[in-house]
Structure 1
Amino acid sequence: MSWVHIARKDFADAGRSMMLWALTGLLILAVAGISVIPYLLASDGTTPGFEDGVGFLFSPIGLLIPIIGLVVGYQAIVSERESGSIRFLLGLPNTRRDVVLGKVIGRTGVVAIPTVIGFLVGAAVIVALYEGFAVVDYLGLLAFSLLMGLVYVAIAVGISASVSSRAKALAATLGFFVLFDFLWEFVAMAIYWTVEGSLPGFDGLPAWYLFIVRLSPGQSLSAISLTLIDFVGAEDIDLTAAGRVAGEVPFYLENWFAWVIVTLWIVVPLGIGYVRFKNAVLS
């Protein structure tokens, strides 16, 4: 299995370049440091509960992991093309499919290992400072973070496989992040305005509008988080909850269908990237 060797090499290269260690330090500081904040803000002398620490941690992690995934993945293949090392990589018994698969698995490992270490240190902090520790919910948040890492690494590697220069990969990755993680809801609102002639409210909304909003990887991942994590305030995370739709809830707005959307966000960018990389003339 040639892709296994490529994944191992990619992971080892990250360790030698200090990327792995830098990400580990960053995620330890992020998970442990952010989870301390509710404890420091408590002013009534009572010890905050587990939900306070984890609930405060959710949103920053939901922003940080996607950024890390995109940064780790966007140079995965295009840097090999620019340096010329891609010819050596393909000179071994490796196919271009092996390169794409090996790169996405190796880069996912580069994100996953520091994430696990950061959560282990964060668990020690939460146990020490907060009342109670819900192991299942904490593992659910870890699983959610790992899934986020996989999704955004896959998107970035797909972009990296699709273009011929690092500048193009950076521009496409940045454009993707801005569009789908910051502007997507405004895009959906613009479509709603065009169709309905007004801005959407909070509830009583047509299913098609809520579905467009959920097509963002961040929104579909938020819906998935509700199936993995059960803590106070979690129900407020999903801004496209079924309670906002007018009439009966269609199947594509149920939380389980978000898994389908997320799977497509993994498979489709990699598929497009592989096809473009397969047909590319390597100079």
Structure 2
Amino acid sequence: MPLRVIRSSCRDAGGSRNLALEQARFPWIYMIDADDLHLEGGLRALLAETNIQPMPDMVVGAYRRRTDGVDRQFKMPSGYTAAGLTNASAYLEGRIRSIAVGSALIARRAIGETRFPTGLPYDEDTLFWARVMSRASLAVASRPIMIYFVSSERSDDRFTVKPVSRFLQWRLALRELTDCGIPKSSLKVREGLVALKIARVHYARGDLETAAKFLTVAEAAPRVPADIWRCMRYRLKIAARRRFPVHRIQLQSV
């Protein structure tokens, strides 16, 4: 099959993917980022699942996350049902495995005019998958498809630049998913999950004021018991560090 290279002047990955989606002409679409690794036979495993009847709109496979050079366990697709809207809600709420770009195959008919949000600092993939998933039938492939490379520092850095304005920008895009029929309660849960993640990053980097602000947002969202405990734990940690600040001592060698 001939390879066609499309030049892009887009400033983010979402824009480049959208350009490719506009040019796509074949029935099935597979996307993978340039810094990730496709495993031999992975795409064939995804395509094999498209032969089942009735034909699915989307096939999700397993992948391995390699964080800072360390391999994690393979993440197996699980928790999906036959109902697209149910899958989309569960996906936003973190109740089913996340999808890495490069671990899924999607029918062009299911994507339609759906595109990746652009200009967002994070979570644009989640918004795209939720929108497609809300109206797609789905199959899973247990075979590992790809390795997803992650830099924890670069991942955390996304949450430290203009954290409030960027969060509000992302939240506005999240709330647009109501036009898919996804319940507002699921969107609220997603807000809480992302806010908690931002709070954890700022706490780890010593910005207790920003951590406390986002923890308040996380606490206002509907939560499962595990998230309630996480919020309580970080609230206690913040209070302890404010009461007993850590003094850094610099040693000068002579």
TM-score (norm 2): 0.25
- The structure in which a higher percent of residues are helix is 1
- The structure in which a higher percent of residues are strand is 2
Q: Which has the higher contact order (CA 8 A, sep 6+)?
A: 1
TM-score (norm 1): 0.23
